[in-house]
Amino acid sequence: MKRRAFLKSAGAGAAAAGAGLAVTGVAAPAIAQSQPEIQWRLASSFPKSTDILFGASELIARRVAESTDGKFQIRAFPGGELVPGLQVLDAVQNGSVQCGHTCGYYYVGKDPTFAFDTAIPFGPNARQTTAWFQAGGLELMRAFMKNYNVIQFPAGNTGAQMGGWYRKEIKTVEDFQGLKIRIAGITGQIMSKMGATPTQIAGADVYPALEKGTIDATEFVGPYDDERLGFHQVAKYYYYPGWWEGGPNVSLYVNLQEWEKLPKAYQSILTAACAEANTYMIARYDAENAKALKRLIAKGTLLRGYPRELMEQAHKIAFEYYDELAKTNPNFKTIYESWKPFLDETQLWFRVAELPYDNFMATNSSKK
């Protein structure tokens, strides 16, 4: 019941809420407020080496400083420096940092509902994700996250990711049986139901495990980040698409008490900075992934598409699993009942204008 209560008030105002302006509301009256000096620490889940992911938090910090003549300072720390990358939520919740740049799906162990903050298999693409937040999804997610003493701001998206590095080709559903793949969370659950053996290995151990064949496959992000980890040196086949990450959102989590202490103008500036980070991250990934993909192919990487029958099986298992979760978890149910119809409705529209255009451009350019 308690879980239900916090979501009750979320529905009514959802339609009116703009993604960026939901919290700060209408224009502030022209009354001068002081500009206090404020210093925050931001714990990122991402290492410096993933410079686009980490760069987005640096952009937020820079934008906030510039917009306040340096009075509101945020210092961004890479994953692991203040807290381990997967414990950013906890650090924000208990106030040991004021904010963190992270992905909700790292915290599905606490509640699978967190996954809607980032991505779940066969979920919306990047544009649909942003549109859903805008159309009421953000308000629902914030009502949920309030339970964790957090207010959340969409602040980055990677676009559709790749489907990982494989030592052997996957030609049929059978090839997935017993496959040892390094993957976690809801996708791990689904792959397990498909007969694979999801494995959890610490970041630094993935490369040697793949090299030795202790695991058969691993996934990470996309060409730009993956190339740096060198997976192409120990696994030949690079699969697409990452059907569990069609448009993963990265969020800024802010401790609620710290948020409420901010002057209205600083709240407004931080909100806009997060929206800018959203635009920045995907734009950089789109440009850099394109270049990195060309380099990987030149180095001998072989691109392979997941067999359609495998994706169809995964899709079926995924939505059966979500239906089950919705039956037992009221938080998940509340979000899912907004998220799923939105996904279906926007899909229809994307099929009409966006996809035929993109497909024409893709097939036409391929002829040259």
Distance (Å) of CA 215 to CA 187, 192, 237, 283, 291: 17, 15, 14, 33, 28
Q: Does 70 contact a second copy by CB under 8 A?
A: yes
Using CB under 8 A as the binding rule, whether residue 36 contacts a second copy is answered as: no
H helical segments located in the chain: 2-8, 51-67, 88-93, 126-132, 138-145, 185-193, 206-212, 223-229, 256-261, 264-298, 308-328, 330-352, 354-365
Instruction: Say whether 144 counts as a known binding-site residue.
Output: no
298 is a contact residue toward a second copy (CB under 8 A): no
* Residues of this chain, 155-194, that bind a second copy according to CB under 8 A: 159-162
Q: Decide: 237 and 73 in contact? Cβ < 8 Å.
A: no
Short-list 250, 284, 247, 253, CA closest to 270: 253
Q: Per the annotation, does 324 bind a ligand?
A: no
Half-sphere exposure of 142 (CA within 13 A, CB side): 24
Q: Residue 9, interface with a second copy (CB under 8 A)? A: no
To the question of whether residue 219 is assigned a binding role by annotation, the answer is: yes
**Is 128 flagged in the annotation as binding?**
no
Amino acid occupying residue 82: L
The whole-angstrom separation of Cα 120 and Cα 311 is 14
State the nearest-atom distance from the C-beta of 49 to a second copy, in Å.
19
Residue 122 labeled ligand binder: no
Quick note: the x/- pattern for a second copy over 301-320, rule CB under 8 A, is: --x-x--x--xx--x-----
What residues from 104 to 143 belong to the interface with a second copy (CB under 8 A)?
122, 125-128, 130-135
Cβ-based nearer residue to a second copy, 285 or 332: 285
Among 1, 2, 12, 29, binds a second copy (CB under 8 A): 29
- Residue among 29 and 204 whose Cβ is closer to a second copy: 29
Contact between 346 and a second copy (CB under 8 A)? yes
Residue 334 main-chain phi, psi, to 5 deg: -60, -45
Give me the least distance between CB of 307 and a second copy, in Å please. Answer: 11
As a whole number of angstroms, the distance between CA 18 and CA 15 comes to 8
Least distance CB 20 / a second copy (angstroms): 5
Q: Which is nearer to a second copy, 68 or 199 (CB)?
A: 68
Q: Which pair of tokens denotes residue 51?
A: 């410079």
Annotated binding-site positions for substrate:
161, 182, 219, 245
